[in-house]
């Protein structure tokens, strides 16, 4: 298993190209170098994994956790905060980052891991995050039908999202497209879940295990 942190996340240094296509190229090179069979991504990372498939940087199964396919799918407060930070400076996103440890403390996560996650969040550099998040929002705002593109790709994909109030919502049209695709499996976690890998570890592990099993 290979785990990597996206540039600009948890203090990871920025690369020259932090666009989603640029990150997908780098991630594809990493997957090829380590002969990875399955790619798993959460939130922004799920979008990078999606682009890996759509661009041909990776041709195996993917597990997409909390995937947002359009601006409508993404949390409105996050979109507004990033866009405002582009206009007036980084302080709006800085406030959001200051509040995030409080959100994590209220999440249903085992205490040792909760402390580790909070420490990771504290490593975020706001200036870097504004740049990376703006590129991400530009990508999902593009005039493209990502659901249809994923369905047409033929690549096996498991799209895991929360039932309500969480990360990676889907519009009715996106859901219908994905449900009709032979290569896509939708997994809905009951209730309101924001940090899918942390708050729904069993469902996350099951999705990954199923993707691996399909390779046999």
Residues present in the chain in total = 216
Q: What is the CATH number of the domain that holds 61?
A: 3.40.50.1820
Q: Check residue 103 and give its pLDDT.
A: 81
130 found inside a domain: yes
Q: Check residue 38 and give its pLDDT.
A: 96
135 found inside a domain: yes
136 found inside a domain: yes
204 found inside a domain: yes
Q: Give the count of domains, the chain.
A: 1
Exposed e or buried b for every residue in 202-216, given b needs 16+ CB within 10 A? ebbeebbebbeeeee
Q: Check residue 162 and give its pLDDT.
A: 83
9 found inside a domain: no
Q: What is the span of the domain harbouring residue 194?
A: 20-213
65 found inside a domain: yes
* 79 closest CA partner among 126, 133, 131: 133
Q: Check residue 196 and give its pLDDT.
A: 84
Rounded (10°) angle between helices 126-140 and 91-105: 90
Calpha distance 159→35 (Å, rounded): 23
Extract the runs of DSSP E, i.e. beta strands, from 3-80: 39-42, 62-65
Q: Does this model's pTM top 0.85?
A: yes
Q: Check residue 165 and give its pLDDT.
A: 58
8 found inside a domain: no
Residue 35 has phi, psi (to 5 degrees) of 55, 50
The mean pLDDT value of the chain amounts to 91
Q: Check residue 106 and give its pLDDT.
A: 78
| Number of other CB atoms surrounding residue 128 within 10 Å | 18
Task: Tell me how many degrees the CA angle 59-169-162 measures, rounded to the nearest 5.
Answer: 90
Calpha distance 199→16 (Å, rounded): 33
Calpha distance 201→191 (Å, rounded): 14
Low-confidence ranges of the chain (pLDDT < 70): 164-168, 216
87 found inside a domain: yes
Exposed e or buried b for every residue in 34-69, given b needs 16+ CB within 10 A? eebebbbbbbbbbbbbbbbbbeebbebbbbbbbbbb
């Amino acid at each position: 298993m290979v785990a990597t942190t996206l540039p600009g996340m948890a203090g990871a240094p920025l690369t020259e190209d932090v666009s989603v296509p640029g990150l997908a190229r780098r991630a594809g090179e990493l997957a090829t170098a380590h002969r990875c069979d399955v790619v798993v991504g959460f939130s922004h990372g799920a979008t990078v994994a999606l682009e890996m498939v759509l661009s041909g940087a990776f041709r195996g199964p993917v597990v997409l956790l909390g995937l947002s396919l359009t601006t409508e799918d993404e949390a409105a407060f996050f979109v507004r905060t990033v866009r405002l930070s582009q206009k007036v400076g980084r302080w709006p996103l800085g406030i959001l980052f200051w509040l995030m440890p409080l959100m994590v403390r209220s999440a249903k996560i085992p205490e040792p891991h909760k402390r580790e996650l909070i420490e990771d969040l504290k490593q975020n550099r706001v200036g870097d995050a504004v740049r990376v998040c703006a590129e991400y929002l530009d990508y999902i705002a593009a005039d493209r039908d990502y659901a249809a593109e994923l369905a047409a790709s033929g690549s096996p994909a498991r799209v895991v999202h929360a039932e309500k109030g969480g990360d990676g919502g889907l519009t009715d049209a996106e859901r219908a497209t994905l449900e009709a695709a032979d290569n896509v499996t939708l997994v809905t976690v009951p209730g309101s879940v924001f940090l899918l890998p942390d708050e729904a570890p069993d469902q996350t592990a099951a999705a990954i295990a199923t993707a691996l099993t399909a390779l046999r």
